[in-house]
Structure 1
Amino acid sequence: MKGSFRRRGCKCKKKRCTCGAKWYYRYDIVDPTTGKRKQKEVGGFRTKAEAEEEAKRIQYELLQGTYIEEKEITFEEFAKEWLIWYENTGKVKVSTIRVRKHEISRLMDYFQYLKMKDITRKQYQEALNDLKARGYAENTIDGAHRTGRMIFKRAVELEVIKTDPTEYAIVPKVQKTVEELEREKELPKYLEKEELAHFLSIIPDHQMDIRDYPIFLTLAYTGMRAGELCALKWSDIDFEEQTISITKTYYNPRNAIKEYELLTPKTKKSKRVIDVTKDVLIELDKLRKAQKEVRMKYRKTYHNEGFVFAQLDEVNAGYPAYVKLIEIRMKRLLKIADLNPSLTPHSLRHTHTSLLAEAGVSLEQIMDRLGHTDDDTTKNIYLHITKPKKKEASHKFSELMRSLL
């Protein structure tokens, strides 16, 4: 067999080693960048037989042309390189990059200074298990694992490592009690049509400024996300065709009014055109006229980017409303209306779903209006609302057949 074997560091003078020195295998490869031969060594084997088995594998790969010389790069170094590559693909949003950085930090606790090639499947699985033992939620562990899979898969593609240690890893799950499983079946909270009508009716008398009523009316009547609403510009509204185009979403994790970003929609399906009623357009037109007065008043400092729900105060005039502001105002108005104060702007999206289902709109039409390709929550609400109608249909069919028999 090509190459040589030795016990590194053995100080025993006898043929039989008693000091526990490990076996190493030394072999030659051709450096693809220089074309010159160089020596490589693998080791740490307990017996010579183990070293010989590894030697057979290496020589077979060299013969077949499948040999990969694993790099010495650490996880920390490669993760930084991967993040730059991932961002430069142009397929991910700023918010997603922020999430990936956070998830990488979880893995750093275990692999930061380890070489990529030395991380084993056992070590990787133990890291996921330890995250669970430390009390992290299943979603948090799943997110770290999802990012880990992408990093190591890319390392294999670049021939930094030969095998992917994440390949057979599983996210440890907690055995749920019957009570927890039953709670999972609960539908998200939303307003019944009478409650929605009451909520909207109290706003004009209790709103903080003229934006409140059109904001919550638009959310309730279109089912759009709060981030989509904050990003709306007047150019997105076609008053003649009675439509609103969703082409972007608002991003501002620090809630700093002047540090916002406009990103592409959540998914490809999220980019859509929503039909709206005259009731909504009338309120938006009122807001547009009032906004013109504010723009003229602060014309020298107004942030004139055409936002529909722009700030109206002198300091921030023209900058878009932010999601946290809408959440705060909704909580206040719900308390005044004596409704569940734990509801959020997203609850109005669920409310829109339930009322469309009650009105007989198909699930496909609802999903299209909401910008969903697939969503279990929407499906569950739809099935819950339409269940009585399905039973009614079954009952009518039975009555029809009985009349014929």
Structure 2
Amino acid sequence: MTNQSKYHPAIKPYTLQDGATLYRFTAYLGVDPLTGKDKIVTRSKFATAKQAQIALDKLKYGLNNGQVPENNRKSFVNVHEEWDVLYKESGIVMSTYSKTEGYFKNHIIPFFGDMKVAKITVQHCEEFAVQLSKKLKYFHHIVNYASDVMDAAVRYNYINSNPFRIAKIPNEQVQEKTDNYLEIQDFKVLLDYCKKLDLKSYALLRLLMFTGMRKGELIAITWSDIDFSEKTLEIYEAYSYSKHNKGNNIGLTKGKRSRNIVLDDQTLEVLKKWQQEQKNLFIQIGIPIKSPDQQLVFSNSVNNFIKLDYSNQLLRKALDVLNLKYITVHGLRHTHATQLTEAEASLISIQQRLGHIEKTNTTDHFYVHVTKKVKINTLNSLLTYLAENNIY
């Protein structure tokens, strides 16, 4: 029996104890472009010399294209760990990171797990997406996270291409139009009811109803953020809880952009009364009052942050009493946006008041600034609209 293959001198047969013949090779592939060192590999257990030749050709091709042979053994979990380090430090809020962590733990890792990234095929990607589509109404964001990890594998030269890029992903179900907002008549009913609540609850719900601010932003505001003489509220921080925050739950607002909005006189008057009542309550129970830049406008019984769901609980209780349809605090934000639109406020002024990232043309983005006059006109348009509906 010859000890050399006609396909390649490095491919040699060897005989097992049962008499079967297999093929193996030890070959010099060239210089590793990543390390600059010679690359020698050994492979065995090929049934034919032709199979060994194909494997050897693939290794050579892979090395020449920046794919290091050892990287073929990188598992999806390995790459995810590397991806996760950068993702966690990318500037996302930790509450978002916690959600993403859940997507990987509950959906992505259980499917791909220890699969070698070099072995993940288009079929695997499509099967993963199909399984998700049978369990979840909205799943594309989870598929995108899995694809991001595979993109990282491409960047790190573990694979040459991302199979997700050519996979056929099922469509999500058509999103039904939500009605997470209050009609103007129900808004009036809710506002009239809030006026009968304790001052803290009224101030909190009214501020949400007349600003459309996010609940995380509401939790973070301090008295120094409210300028009673200028009639403005500065919003630049937001509260978000995550086990990864290590107690540092205050960060930038969504979109990482601060905004200054004008408040109506009645809301300011309610806030001023609540400020004095808050002081009196703290004095009665012996809790030190903090400086204006540290004292939260809405705090709990020990002068710390209220729970993230506190405002939703207040709103839910009110809606139950009034037998109105259930909406969330974010629904009050939708309501405010709807009212501003019906009041014919300009798009850019609505975006500014709500803290949305402007997705307009370059001229608007760089040269159109929302001046104080525009902000006042926006509020006046809203107040005129509400007055026409017997609200204020």
TM-score (norm 1): 0.74
Structure 2 runs not aligned, ≥5 long: 1-6, 360-392
For the 8 Å contact 2:28–2:40, the answer to whether it is kept is yes
2:81 corresponds to: 80
* Aligned-residue offset at 1:320: 2.4
| Match for residue 343 of structure 2 among 354, 359, 365 | 359
SS of corresponding position for 2:195 = helix
The alpha-carbon distance between structure 1 residues 298 and 170, as it changes in their structure 2 partners (threshold 3 A), is farther
Moved more, 288-297 or 147-156: 288-297
Moved more, 93-102 or 47-56: 47-56
2:160 corresponds to: 162
1:382 corresponds to: none
Q: Using the alignment, how far apart are the partners of 2:12 and 2:121 within structure 1?
A: 25
For the 8 Å contact 1:236–1:246, the answer to whether it is kept is yes
What is the one-letter code of the residue matched to 1:84?
Answer: V
1:308 aligns with 2:308: no
Q: Using the alignment, how far apart are the partners of 2:345 and 2:102 within structure 1?
A: 40
1:136 corresponds to: 135
1:338 aligns with 2:323: yes
For the 8 Å contact 2:348–2:358, the answer to whether it is kept is no
Q: 1:356-396: per-residue Cα shift (whole Å, max 9, x none)?
A: 12211123322222122379xxxxxxxxxxxxxxxxxxxxx
2:100 corresponds to: 100
The alpha-carbon distance between structure 1 residues 93 and 243, as it changes in their structure 2 partners (threshold 3 A), is same
For the 8 Å contact 1:2–1:27, the answer to whether it is kept is no
Q: Using the alignment, how far apart are the partners of 1:221 and 1:88 within structure 2?
A: 35
1:399 corresponds to: none
What is the one-letter code of the residue matched to 2:113?
Answer: Q
SS of corresponding position for 2:163 = coil
Q: 1:202-224: per-residue Cα shift (whole Å, max 9, x none)?
A: 2232x2x4211111111111111
Q: Using the alignment, how far apart are the partners of 1:7 and 1:110 within structure 2?
A: 38
Q: Aligned ranges for residues 272-283 of structure 1 at < 5 Å? A: 272-283=259-270
2:191 corresponds to: 200
| Match for residue 332 of structure 2 among 327, 348, 360 | 348
Q: 1:60-102: per-residue Cα shift (whole Å, max 9, x none)?
A: 565x66453342332223322321222123x211112112211
The alpha-carbon distance between structure 1 residues 58 and 291, as it changes in their structure 2 partners (threshold 3 A), is same
1:5 aligns with 2:11: yes
* Aligned-residue offset at 1:243: 1.4
Q: Using the alignment, how far apart are the partners of 1:345 and 1:128 within structure 2?
A: 32
The alpha-carbon distance between structure 1 residues 354 and 170, as it changes in their structure 2 partners (threshold 3 A), is same
| Match for residue 286 of structure 1 among 251, 267, 273 | 273
2:311 corresponds to: 326
Identity percentage of aligned residues = 25
1:213 corresponds to: 202
Moved more, 220-229 or 162-171: 162-171
Q: Using the alignment, how far apart are the partners of 2:308 and 2:269 within structure 1?
A: 23
Moved more, 288-297 or 348-357: 288-297
SS of corresponding position for 1:97 = helix
The alpha-carbon distance between structure 1 residues 7 and 149, as it changes in their structure 2 partners (threshold 3 A), is farther
The alpha-carbon distance between structure 1 residues 363 and 36, as it changes in their structure 2 partners (threshold 3 A), is closer
Q: Using the alignment, how far apart are the partners of 1:123 and 1:32 within structure 2?
A: 30
The alpha-carbon distance between structure 1 residues 329 and 59, as it changes in their structure 2 partners (threshold 3 A), is closer
SS of corresponding position for 1:263 = strand
- Provide the aligned length of Structure 1 versus Structure 2: 346
For the 8 Å contact 1:3–1:26, the answer to whether it is kept is no
SS of corresponding position for 1:27 = strand
2:385 corresponds to: none
Q: Using the alignment, how far apart are the partners of 1:280 and 1:43 within structure 2?
A: 78
Q: Using the alignment, how far apart are the partners of 1:60 and 1:34 within structure 2?
A: 17
Q: Aligned ranges for residues 368-387 of structure 1 at < 5 Å? A: 368-373=352-357
Structure 1 runs not aligned, ≥5 long: 376-405
The alpha-carbon distance between structure 1 residues 372 and 2, as it changes in their structure 2 partners (threshold 3 A), is farther
* Aligned-residue offset at 1:329: 1.4
What is the one-letter code of the residue matched to 1:359?
Answer: A
TM-score (norm 2): 0.76
1:268 corresponds to: 256
SS of corresponding position for 2:74 = coil
For the 8 Å contact 2:316–2:328, the answer to whether it is kept is yes
| Match for residue 219 of structure 2 among 214, 222, 230 | 230
* Aligned-residue offset at 1:2: 6.4
1:381 corresponds to: none
The alpha-carbon distance between structure 1 residues 39 and 320, as it changes in their structure 2 partners (threshold 3 A), is same
Q: 1:256-287: per-residue Cα shift (whole Å, max 9, x none)?
A: xx967112211135x32212111111111111
SS of corresponding position for 1:113 = coil
